[in-house]
A and B are shown apart, each in its own frame.
Chain A
Amino acid sequence: MGIFEAILLTIITAATPLALAALGELVVERSGVLNLGVEGMMIIGAATGFAVAVLSGSTLIGALAAIAAGMVMASVFAALALGLAANQVATGLALTILGIGLSGLIGNDFIGARRDPMAKIVVPYLSDLPVVGRVLFQQDPVVYLTVALAAGIWWFLARSRAGLTLRAVGESHVSAHALGLPVLRIRFLAVLFGGGCAGLAGAYLSLAYTPFWSPGMTAGRGWIALAIVVFASWKPLRALLGAYLFGGVTILQLHAQARGWGIPSQLMSSLPYLATIFVLVIISRARKGGTDAPAALGQPFVADR
């Protein structure tokens, strides 16, 4: 396997959790809800997924448990931010703080445990193609699922009636409510979906990216996923692209460290964060201050009967 091929493989692995979390949050934000708790839901997914996988001996059951855990966290957020119309920014931060604490409790007994990383699916014949074969056709199932999810969300938002409803709620909850659309129910479902995606993204970290659990292992990826949504202008296919770009920065950093270019490792490690800031600035400049954000994003909704 050539170095180029190896880099491509690792980029895809590094990008997958970012893409999953970003795609989930994109749907949430399209419905007009800003859930800043992605990092918290993600790390709960990582801890739960790993713990359940070790206890049950099954990666699949672990991943499903992580999705469920992400959804439970998301429903706590929904109860406050939707049910009680609490400030969404503060509620999301609370979700992250709670998630980091709970993940420590859940993962406490599993520090030091190891599992084999998720098995790859080999597509016969196609995976033998030079260069692209292994990159495109010999990945773990979550990688394929993520690409399918991006396409599915694109179709849902752009082409389906339900997607149109969701976007209407995100653009103007007042008009949507006047039309008789169940604003809070639609938003609740979107938030649940986002929680499931973030949970799976976390499980991917502890079950595929690194085959173990360590406290704080999400290392800000949930926040980078939020930045990717902005970068993507709330468009799913662009979010997928953005995740691969950020995955690339992460991997560049690892490879540069491995080669010992004499650059301090801490400087290399800060690259993904600095790149995020840089990209956010470029995006805002390109839009000249305008924004593609859903118009009702972050505003609480209380029905006037």
Chain B
Amino acid sequence: MRLILEKRETSPAWLSVASPVIAILLTLCAGAILFAVIGKNPVTALRVYFLDPLSDGWALQELAVKATPLILIGVGLTLCYRSNNWNIGAEGQLVMGAVFGSWVALSTHGVAHGAWVLPAMLGMGALGGALLALVPAILKARFQVNEILTSLMLVYVAELTLDYLVRGRWRDPKGFNFPQSVNFDPQATMPLLFGEGRLHVGFALAVLVALVAAFVLARTLKGFEIRLVGEAPRAARFAGFDDRRTTLFVFAVSGALAGLAGIIEVAGPIGQLQPSISPGYGFTAIIVAFLGRLNPIGALIAALFLALTFIGGENAQIALKIPLDVTRVFQGLLLFFVLGCDSFILYRLRLVSREGLA
């Protein structure tokens, strides 16, 4: 007797909705086991991790703040992965967006300027991310260089660039030699949504981006092109779509969104440039894209769940002395379970006897 995979004739519709939910449940079970192994009460730990962050208004605001960059990047990566372009350098594009956008903030620092400063920062941020993303895209379209490796290598280059700037020419001269820039002026910071708290306009922008992307992907010719290039490259070529142009387009868009996420983080929750501005949003967004079933609205929901893992991780670190790395473990496990569950949409497992195989 042995187990084999067998292709399904039809994929049941309920399974593609249930798959991410089952994946989350399996992750929670694996998490309980993990907590037990490192000697913590699993029930307490899971409560601190996944329920406490949802307990009050302040916590919910924090959830939306953490979800903002994940939504923006996750939606961009969704478009990329749909068209079979593997941008995994979003972390670097986020950093480069923060650098480009901060240039506007720092060069207008201390001078009274009009309302154009923040929009200019967001624009420059998007440009910075897009320019960095276009490097692997051009290398792929022009020379067929593997985009996975090049986009990833640029993450390290972008992080080193940021490090150079905040330790060097952009360092706050009055900052007691700490490697950080000056605090951004009020004109260069994200306005708060409710006039108080931490929730800023960036969240509304991110939700808008997800809605627009969902519309573009489902209802426009460009969206059809992206889906067709990904699913049936030959058919796309016969239909007259240039897959190299698609590559450049999706990389530019996903890079711009990651760059936007970067400058929004710096101009919002952080308020200044530092050597490290992201706890790995660019990599977590890869999971967002898959958990959201490569659908922009799905990415929106998935981003909220993954934001929970960041906040829960911080809570668990303070309340239970659990290392912050547990967050990454959770995220990795979640991606495994998502991919595993998704297999059952296409295949079913069957137990067959050896004779039956002959």
Which residues from chain A sit less than 8 Å from chain B, CB to CB?
36, 40, 76, 80, 83-87, 89-91, 93-105, 108, 215, 219-220, 223, 226-227, 230, 264, 266-267, 269-270, 273-274, 276-277, 280-281, 284-285, 289, 291, 302-303, 305
Contacts and interface: CB of A to CB of B under 8 A. Distances in A.
B339 A100 contact: no
Contact of A105 (B163, B329, B331): B329
B34 to A, nearest CB: 9
B145 to A, nearest CB: 5
Nearest to A265: B164
Contacts of A285: 143
Contacts of B88: 93
The DSSP consensus for interface residues of chain B is helix
26 contacts: A83-B5, A85-B346, A86-B339, A87-B339, A89-B86, A94-B336, A97-B287, A97-B335, A98-B332, A101-B327, A103-B325, A215-B325, A220-B156, A227-B149, A227-B153, A266-B163, A267-B160, A273-B153, A273-B157, A277-B153, A280-B139, A281-B143, A284-B143, A284-B144, A302-B7, A305-B357
Nearest to A93: B286
B148 interface: yes
Contact of B328 (A89, A100, A227, A273): A100
A90 B335 contact: yes
B175 to A, nearest CB: 19
Given A80-B336, A277-B139, A104 B323 contact: yes
Interface string B294-324: 0000000000000000000000000000011
B343 interface: yes
Given A90-B290, A93-B88, A289-B143, A270 B157 contact: yes
B329 A270 contact: no
B340 interface: yes
A36 B330 CA distance: 19
Contacts of B343: 80, 84-86
B152 A303 contact: no
B335 A93 contact: yes
A97 B144 contact: no
A87 to B, nearest CB: 6
